[in-house]
Amino acid sequence: MDAKIEKLRDWGCNVNDAMERMLDDEEFYIECLETVAEDENYALLKKALDSHDASRAFDCAHTLKGVLANVGLTPMYDKIVEIVEPLRRKSDEDLSGKYAELMGTA
C-alpha cells in the first residue's frame, strides 16, 4: 500500500470507497488526486467569492464537492459542503474563512 494512501486514511479520508471507484488501481487513484489538487475551480471559487458572485461561486463549489467526494477526500469534502450550502440558499454570508479552511490556510 502506498504511503500516501495510508496518510490519507490517517487524515480521515474515505480511501476504501474511492479505491473501489478506481477499481483498486492505486496508481490511477494517485493520478486522480494529483488532478484534483490542480483543479482550476479552487482559484475560480476564490475569485467568485471575492467578487461576491454567488452564482459562479456555487457552480465552482458544487463541482469541487463532487470531485472531492469521488476521490474520498472527506475532510475537504466536509469543508466544501460548508461553502456550498449557504451559496445554494443564496446567502450573502462571508465565506472567505471557510475557503481558507478548505485550502488549509486558516
pLDDT digits (tens, 9 = 90+) for 7-64: 999 999 999 999 999 999 999 999 999 999 999 999 999 999 999 999 999 999 999 9
Asked whether residue 1 carries a pLDDT value surpassing 60, the answer given is no
| Per-residue pLDDT at 26 | 93
- pTM comes to 0.92
- Could you tell me the sign of the dihedral formed by the alpha carbons of 53, 54, 57, 63, in that order? negative
Q: 472531492: which residue's cell?
A: 68
- CA–CA gap between residue 57 and residue 44 (Å, rounded): 8
